[in-house]
Chains A and B, each alone.
Chain A
Amino acid sequence: MAEGFDIDHLAKLARLSLTAEEKALYSSQLNSILGHFQALAQADLPATIDDARVVRESALRSDVPGPSLGAAAVTRIAPAARDGQISVPRVVDDEA
């Protein structure tokens, strides 16, 4: 199979810690998905395909503020919250 990826690197980017069994399972599933994309990539497509994805400015939204969910609704769907904010393990990019 086409090994176009490194499962350890992907897990690290996604901040997932995987067991050996999970790595094997996901590698096989990812390979299967990539196989589908390889099939798609071989399809003979018209060069103008991108035009189907083009919209004009009429498709833009006007600058009118709409409703917000409110902090209570936002924090309700978070695993942990404090003082109206979502609480996560400390992430630091300040001076070490």
Chain B
Amino acid sequence: MSSSAEWEVVIGLEVHVQLHTRAKVFASSSWGFGQEPNEQVDPVVLGLPGTLPVVNREAVEKSILFGLVVGAEIPARCAWDRKNYFYPDNPKNYQLTQKDFPVVIGGSVEIELPGPSRNVMGEHKRVRIHHAHLEEDVGKLSHAGSGSLVDYNRAGVPLLEIVTEPDLRSSAEAEAFLRSLVAMLTQAGVADCDMEKGQLRCDCNVSIRHPGAPLGTRTETKNLNSISSVRDTVIYETARQIRELEAGRAITQETRGWNAELGRGYVLRDKEDAHDYRYFPDPDIPTLELSRATVERLAKQVPENLYDRQRRYMDTLGLPFTAASVLVANRELAEWFEAAVAAHPANPQGLANLVANDLLRDLAAASGAPTGFEEAAPAPVSLASCPIKPAQLAGLVKLTDDGVISKQQAKEVFAEMFKSGQDAAAIVDAKGLRQNSDTGELEKIVQEVIADPAVAKSIAEYRAGNEKAINALKGPIMKRTQGKANPGLIDQLLRKALG
């Protein structure tokens, strides 16, 4: 008897990422989303007679940078091949890609799985990268009636294809991998990964087996353009393959598509021996020798790893997982937070709370960004237009820590700072929020209040052991100080006075 619990799903991903460059990878034509069709095309993109492709340095360097981010080997040489196929998305009838000598070999990406609850960190695991190769994107087809229309604006856009080992074991792992990869690519400035603009697309290989058995026959679902589509494809394809095998049928090695609207996969019509690509070394592009000096220079641009940063925030700064994970998802936000900590190192947690909650909420509201975003891993806010500077936030937290204002008042001051960009101290003074922490003056008021016969009953109750009775004495003190007395200090002075 077989049951679903005995099956293990094995997933490998091929992630195509458009690199952050201005010009195309082998041609000088510019590229970008939202242009009129065929306005970003030059003779090299079309492969017109007499043209020669020349590799864009920035595309190579961004590829190397990715390799360094994932701890890969950067080989001494890389080379390009022609992948031959006839299809209208491809003006030259071949795609320039790297088959045997890719620019990046190996490496791994650390991922974090969802924890048992939102504020508990989940398990971490490493997903190995097999290699990444630098190729050109192809044109875009749209289908209209009996014909198809071709736009070559996308043809020749630098595309890094990142191929994983079959290390992923669930839809949750595939999703976590993509979120982690997107964060690493964007934080290093390798790519923008805007899935709405098709800047990251995935092919998803799925097979199932009994744990410990050899790999099963896999299917490849192509051209998934969102993290949720990858997740849903894995769920769908796993269920389908279990159903097939348990019904005694075999899995066919096939290429599949995904209909996100209907939430189902389908077999792609075979592109007539499309797999017979007849690769050969491209005679127009010489083998490229990569200098160690370049690799060393780029290594200095590698930002602190997302999860190394998270561990540092939790272990060294004592932040809770919830705040740490929000901060590290956005490199700019994390660096902003660190600048604030540098200005007030005594209370990182107080700073983190304000940054991860209040600042992020107000920035999102100010930029009109949706707050319930699902796809983008990093918080979709920019700090470029943030009205508050890190040192100003540090000033606010310091005022709270010193007992000048209460935590509740700090929220009010924060809101005002976000509106006006003024320093916390100036707002506190202008609003007359400064707490009274003058021990001498407060002691006097405490003595006056406890001498009032109206509170004699509360005092007796407190002295008889009713801790809560002391609160009845705080109201009159607050009233006499117009609410400005430092609550902590009142409590302390009252207890002293009542012995």
Contact = CB atoms under 8 A, between A and B. Distances in A.
Nearest to A75: B38
Contacts of B142: 85
Given A9-B273, A57-B289, A60-B60, A88 B88 contact: yes
A54 B36 contact: no
B436 interface: no
A21 B246 CA distance: 52
Interface string A70-81: 110011000000
A88 to B, nearest CB: 5
25 contacts: A13-B84, A13-B85, A54-B287, A57-B294, A59-B286, A59-B288, A60-B56, A60-B60, A65-B29, A66-B27, A66-B30, A68-B29, A69-B42, A70-B39, A71-B36, A75-B38, A84-B37, A84-B39, A85-B38, A86-B150, A87-B150, A88-B147, A91-B148, A95-B259, A96-B269
A36 interface: no
B143 A90 contact: yes
Interface of B: 21-23, 27-30, 36-43, 46, 54-60, 77, 84-88, 141-143, 145-152, 257, 259, 266, 268-269, 271-273, 276, 278, 286-291, 294
Given A63-B21, A82-B149, A84-B37, A91 B288 contact: no
Contact of B86 (A9, A14, A90): A14
Contacts of A54: 77, 286-289
B263 to A, nearest CB: 12
Interface of A: 9, 12-15, 50, 53-57, 59-71, 74-75, 82-96
A36 B54 CA distance: 29
B286 A53 contact: yes
A57 B37 contact: no
B340 to A, nearest CB: 35
Contacts of B273: 9, 12-13
Contacts of B259: 95
A84 B38 contact: yes
B32 to A, nearest CB: 9
A13 B87 CA distance: 10
A84 B259 CA distance: 28
Given A85-B151, A93-B269, A63 B42 contact: no
Q: Which of A9, A87, A88, A93 has the most CB of B within 10 A?
A: A93
A93 B268 contact: yes
